[in-house]
Amino acid sequence: MTRIDGLFATGQSLIAYPLRAVFDVAGAEPHVAPARFLVSVPKKKLRRAVDRVLIRRRVREAYRLNRALLLPTLAAHGRRVDMAFVYLSSSLKDYGIIEEKMRQLLNRIAVQASEQDGNS
């Protein structure tokens, strides 16, 4: 089983429409990035490749600009996270909407990572 298969099989899921985040929090490992992510825009939702690429770019940029909401929490608790962001809408959404939902998801993932610290 690949890491991606494992992520979707055992990871937790959060939705902030039009994004769904599937994530798995684990203990930090040396030489492994504290946060790894992938972006999926299903062909079933957006048929045109140009539209899928545009949304993928918007999601990546929203993550890049807002990852500071998550990384300090991971470092403070000695955790790492693998994430997958799946685009759920059948229409193109403005960057502002995607960024707002990305912020919500990253904040909720940070809360989950800090709570799991106490449970381990």
Domain locations in the chain?
A: 3-110
Q: Residue 117: what pLDDT?
A: 57
Dump pLDDT digits (tens) for 36-80. Answer: 999 999 999 999 999 999 999 999 999 999 999 999 999 999 999
CATH number of 3-110: 3.30.230.10
Dump pLDDT digits (tens) for 6-43. Answer: 999 999 999 999 999 999 999 888 888 999 999 999 99
> Which strand (E) or helix (H) includes residue 83?
strand 79-87
Dump pLDDT digits (tens) for 71-106. Answer: 999 999 999 999 999 999 999 999 999 999 999 999
Q: Which of 57, 120, 110 is nearest to 81 (CA)?
A: 110
Q: Is 81 exposed, middle or buried (0-12, 13-18, 19+ CB in 10 A)?
A: buried
Residue 52 CA to residue 39 CA, distance in Å, equals 10
